[in-house]
A and B are shown apart, each in its own frame.
Chain A
Amino acid sequence: MKLFKKKQKMTMWQKLFLIASLKIIFLVAVIKPIFFPNFFKNNFKTEDSQKDFMIKQLTNNSIKSTNKPNSKH
């Protein structure tokens, strides 16, 4: 009951400060570590393995390509 009365007395500025703080804590301390880990750091130990993964991602349709390198273009 006392807590309720205290909440009633909060000024607009206190409410704004509370909303902004809770939001930042929720996003940075809860959402980020649980749902948004750094994909590369989480899956690859070295920068070279990260690079190899990306090269594979960007060239994975190369072997299927019917147009082989042609320097005349």
Chain B
Amino acid sequence: MEHFLATVATDAVANVSGVVNWARAQFAMTIIFHFLFVPITLGMSVLVAIMQTMYYKTGKKEWKATTKFWQKLLAINVAIGIATGIIHEFEFGTNWSNYSWVMGDVFGAPLAIEGIFAFFMEASFGVVSLFGWKRVGKRFHLFSTWMFAIGTNLSGLWIIVANSFMQHPSGYKLNIETARAEMVDFSRIALQPKAIDTFLHQMSSAYMLSATFMITISAYYLLRKRHITFAKRSIAVGITFALLNAYFLFLVGDMQAATVTNMQPTKMAAAEGLFKGEEGAPIVMGMLNPSIKIGDNDKTAVFGIPFPKGLSLLGKHSLNAFIPGINDLVYGNKKYGILPAKELMKRGKVAIDAMYAYHAAKKIKNTSEMKKQKDIFEKHSKYFGYGHLKNEKDIIPPISTVFYSFHIMVGIGSFFMLFFLFMYVKVRKNQILENKLFLKISSITLWLSYIGIVTGWTMAEVGRQPWTVFGVLPTSKSATPIHLTNVKATFFIFLTLFVILGFAELKMMLKQIKLGPDSHEEEV
């Protein structure tokens, strides 16, 4: 069975685009499922640590009960979500082995560091935090809870570093001899602006989601007039945390928009539906013209309310700066020094040809030819990925998916800024119980957060297309030429597994929420 499923598919049975599409669908499904748990773990670990600190400082039993209740829900989340991430490691080795070969030496380093944090720091301190209430001293117990939170967040950092390399590769060199990317400067990978911005954006959105997790459950209790004191305390913590994060998200979102505009202009142009680049480009909040196509310069791209010069301000922090549109990036713009995609493809093909000629020369031991081809390759290697594209329009990601996912994320973030400001005032005035409509809205904020965070990542990942590593390795070249049956079979196995695990999580969570914080039925 193993031989049939994972051997190289011969030309007769190879279905390259089928494998790429199914492998992408499988990766998207597994990462979305995994990501249902990750932000709650990232944020709730910090919130639980804050609540336990309150208990440590005040000695009040109410804080202890509050901490233990949220810690119990966090534990369910961790237990159900645990190991769903290792599925991606499996997929890298089988479905994406070309990608793993080329990028593994660079991409693997942050993932290995993440593994160390995940398995040592998180696991050891997590167990002490969860089961140490009566077994270790109060101070060491609190220390363990904080170390669990820090370990969890640090492991998140290394995943973001790996992802940021895919979005904006730096600190590496493509070796013509091995066809592998080699790390030349770790600091340029770990500390590049893309990684820092994305880490801050990701962490604050995970904290926002966790805050809304608390708010939604607390609002549910308040609407049913159950556990009023507990719920009021929890919703106050949740709303304060959510408000801080809503404004922090706005700031880091602005930083990230500038990074994306500079490093991935195709993604930003698609996200804003900007076809024709301009100085003082506006942001238009509205609907994408469904009939517009790449190359159309005269049609209105987005129907809606324009904010003049908004995009230039967002992307370049200057009112009159030029923002390249989709057409500029595909067909080039001499005035602003933007090369047409065809020229990038031509240069990429030079690099591919040089790699081919280098290995042909190596076979006949022609060292002078090898040196010549190596020099040509090194000169053109930054265009290597473009040489694999078939059409100049391929450099643009799916426009409507990127456009709508970006606008939904921004819409939800903007709503949160206003809503949580209003709710914070209500909390401060102790009027949280007075307006049922706002409590009802509060009770759905968790789902809005999930939509916001998933659409945000959809924009980031679909917006990176057609690349797995931006400009270097196209997605079509990253997948393994294996039998489609293998990818399809595992897709449906994981789908079944996730449905079962999803139901288990929901059932256990709902049971604990119904039991409430007063339950000592299952004391650790």
**Partner-B contacts on A (CB < 8 A):** 11-13, 15-17, 19-20, 23-24, 26-28, 31-40, 42-43, 50-51, 53-55, 57-59, 61-63, 65, 67-71, 73
A59 to chain B, nearest CB (A): 4
A59:B359 contact, CB within 8 angstroms: yes
The 8 Å CB contact of B352, one of A31, A34, A59, A73, is: A59
Contacting residues, chain A, for B76 (C-beta < 8 A): 12, 16
A67:B501 contact, CB within 8 angstroms: no
A62 to chain B, nearest CB (A): 4
Bound-state CA distance A20–B522 (Å) is: 18
Q: Would you mind naming 8 contact pairs between A and B with Cβ atoms under 8 Å apart?
A: A16-B79, A26-B497, A31-B493, A36-B94, A38-B94, A40-B101, A43-B7, A65-B352
**Partner-A contacts on B (CB < 8 A):** 1-3, 5-8, 72, 75-76, 79-80, 82-84, 86-87, 90-91, 93-94, 97-98, 101-102, 178-179, 346-347, 349-350, 352-357, 359, 373, 375-376, 379-380, 387-388, 477, 480-482, 486, 489-490, 493, 497, 501, 504, 508, 511-512, 522, 524
Bound-state CA distance A10–B345 (Å) is: 62
B467 to chain A, nearest CB (A): 14
Contacting residues, chain A, for B380 (C-beta < 8 A): 73
Nearest chain A residue, comparing its CB with the CB of B98: A57
Bound-state CA distance A43–B8 (Å) is: 7
A51:B7 contact, CB within 8 angstroms: no
B508:A15 contact, CB within 8 angstroms: yes
Contact of A13 with B93 at beta-carbon distance under 8 Å, contacts A61-B352, A67-B350, A69-B376 already known? no
Contacting residues, chain A, for B90 (C-beta < 8 A): 27, 31-32, 35-36
The 8 Å CB contact of B2, one of A17, A33, A70, A71, is: A33
Contacting residues, chain A, for B354 (C-beta < 8 A): 69
Bound-state CA distance A58–B381 (Å) is: 13
Contact of A61 with B94 at beta-carbon distance under 8 Å, contacts A16-B75, A69-B357 already known? no
Contact of A24 with B83 at beta-carbon distance under 8 Å, contacts A58-B355, A65-B353 already known? yes
Contacting residues, chain B, for A65 (C-beta < 8 A): 349, 352-353, 387
Contacting residues, chain B, for A13 (C-beta < 8 A): 75, 522, 524
B223 to chain A, nearest CB (A): 25
Contact of A71 with B376 at beta-carbon distance under 8 Å, contacts A35-B490, A39-B6, A39-B93 already known? yes
Bound-state CA distance A68–B352 (Å) is: 10
Known: A50-B101, A59-B359, A69-B373. 7 other contacts (CB 8 A): A13-B75, A19-B501, A32-B90, A39-B93, A42-B2, A42-B6, A65-B352
